[in-house]
Amino acid sequence: MTSPVKVYGTPLSTAAARVLACLFEKDVDFQLIPVNLAKGEHKKPEFLKIQPFGQVPAFQDESISLFESRAICRYICEKYADKGNKKLYGTNPLAKASIDQWLEAEGQSFNPPSGALVFQLAFAPRWKIPQDQDAIKQNEAKLGKVLDVYEKRLGESRFLAGDDFSLADLSHLPNAHYLVTATDRAELITSRKHVERWWDEISNRDSWKKAVELQKSP
Ligand SMILES: N[C@@H](CCC(=O)N[C@@H](CS)C(=O)NCC(=O)O)C(=O)O
């Protein structure tokens, strides 16, 4: 019997939540090994051996040890191609290319401004860090422009990469979730008809609901 894959991190981390949602979508058993960021466990030498940048998540499966959430998700999809949602990372080069394109758009265009807004609006107040109003204004404007592109795309296509829910859609869930549920800028998503329809559909997937459930008892 093979042992479950290991995820090091906390489900409250957006990057770790991406990997957890992917594992649920692929129906792959995992063991979550808590890393307490508040206690600085991610900067300890033992952890730096598996994540040299000192960030969560880190991941281990048999002899492989990986970091970077999107790379981990791609590995899970390739290694466990026959399990769970088989279309999550496409089944042919054309589908994969489109998924990769929107996965890159998430990492390069959506994540920076949405991550900055989530940090400023949801986490800075919790951690008693002063909010940077200029950063909020600039990132809100940047994210608005990105979401205008998404609005057009999602007016033509049910999901970002086509007719099927994919890793590209899944990868947006953690930041979008905090934006909608933990900031007062939910309208960035809900004021755009097609983006809102997409958000409703992807955030109601069982895989994401299970990842959110884990956040309640991290
Ligand atoms: N690009 C990385 C980002 C990882 C990341 O930023 N993790 C955050 C939590 S969401 C973290 O560990 N922050 C603590 C730190 O940077 O010291 C990934 O996708 O895995």
Cα 209 to Cα 202: distance, rounded to the nearest angstrom? 10
- Say which DSSP state 215 is in: H
H-state helical runs in the chain? 14-26, 45-48, 69-79, 93-105, 111-118, 124-126, 133-156, 167-182, 187-190, 193-203, 206-216
- 193 C-alpha to ligand 1 centroid (Å): 31
ipTM of the complex: 0.98
pTM tops 0.95, yes or no = yes
Ligand 1 neighbour 109 (Cβ under 6 A): no
**Ligand 1 pocket test target in 22, 39, 56, 173 with most atoms within 8 Å of CB:** 56
Q: What DSSP designation does 90 have? A: -
Ligand 1 atom at minimum distance from 57 CA = 20
The amino acid at residue 32 is L
- In angstroms, the CA 11 to CA 170 distance is 15
Q: Whose CA is nearest to atom 17 of ligand 1?
A: 55
CA distances from 29 to 77, 108, 123, 145, 155 (A): 13, 30, 30, 38, 36
- The tens digit of pLDDT for each residue in 131-190 reads 999 999 999 999 999 999 999 999 999 999 999 999 999 999 999 999 999 999 999 999
Low-confidence ranges of the chain (pLDDT < 50): none
Distance, CA of 37 to chain centre: 18
